[in-house]
Structure 1
């Protein structure tokens, strides 16, 4: 079966992932130009899901989406909050860990994208046009204030994650 919306978002995941890979290509360093592109593109991706895909799928079947969306929205909130503090290698490990889990749940067979694709199949072209026309989200420079990191940790907790545990898991996976 042809799944153009699923394909659109999956390709966007890969494009965003490459930006993060490029931002951390040099061992122990963060290339800020690539990281800035990663931030803006990740936030644009979240905007496309929250403002276009989710409302269309929810309109098609509110009951199904009522069950599915809360966790994704909490994870979007956590990812957005993680974009506020200045990047560190530890923060990037946590972001990658969350993105790996989040993206898999969206992309896997029977996952969020399959459900949304099925619910919105009659609107595919219209949705794709809206997605392609989505503008970047304007961003402020990273905020070094301690409250930025504290807020990101709380957003992760609301989504069911612990920053320190995620960091340990990310580091143990690399060994």
Structure 2
């Protein structure tokens, strides 16, 4: 089966992952130019899902969308909150961990993209045109204040994740 929306979003995940890889290629220094591009492109990706894909899915079948979309909205909120603080290796580890889980759930057979693809048949070309035309989200400078990471920790918790458990698992993997 041809799945152009699924392919579009999966390729965008790969492109965004490559930016994160480039930002973290040197373990001693985060490449801030690549991180900024990662940050703006990830937020653009979330905007495309929230404003275009979810909207189309809701119009096609409100009941299915109401059962499916809330999880992804909570995770998008957590990811967005993690983008506020300046990047550190630990924070980037948490972001990477969350993105691996989130992207897999979107891409897997029967996941978000398959469901949305089925719901929006007949609108594919129109949706792809809208997605391609989506502009970047303007971003503020990162906020180093403790409240920024505290807000991100709460957003992660609302999405069902424990910030400190993720950090502990990252530390175990690295030791």
- TM-score bin (small chain): over 0.9
The answer as to 2:72 corresponding to 1:72 is yes
Q: How far, CA to CA, are the matches of 1:174 and 1:113 in structure 2? A: 32
Cα RMSD, aligned residues only: 0.9
* SS of alignment partner, residue 66 of structure 1: helix
Q: How far, CA to CA, are the matches of 2:170 and 2:124 in structure 1? A: 36
**Structure 2 counterpart of 1:128:** 128
Superposed, 1:5-154 pairs within 5 Å as: 5-154=5-154
**Alpha-carbon deviation of 1:28?**
2.4
Unaligned runs of 5+ in 1: none
* SS of alignment partner, residue 122 of structure 1: coil
Q: How many residues align?
A: 175
**Alpha-carbon deviation of 1:46?**
0.1
**Partner deviation per Cα, 1:95-118 (whole Å, 9 max, x = no partner):** 000000000000000000000000
Q: How far, CA to CA, are the matches of 2:92 and 2:35 in structure 1? A: 10
Q: How far, CA to CA, are the matches of 1:2 and 1:173 in structure 2? A: 38
Unaligned runs of 5+ in 2: none
- Please report the TM-score for the alignment, with normalisation by the length of structure 1: 0.98
**Partner deviation per Cα, 1:118-148 (whole Å, 9 max, x = no partner):** 0001100000000000000000111011100
Q: How far, CA to CA, are the matches of 1:167 and 1:36 in structure 2? A: 23
Runs of 4+ in 1 over 6 A off after TM superposition: none
In 2 relative to 1, CA 174–4 (structure 1 residues): closer, same or farther, beyond 3 Å?
farther
**Partner deviation per Cα, 1:43-67 (whole Å, 9 max, x = no partner):** 0000000000001011100001100
* SS of alignment partner, residue 6 of structure 1: helix
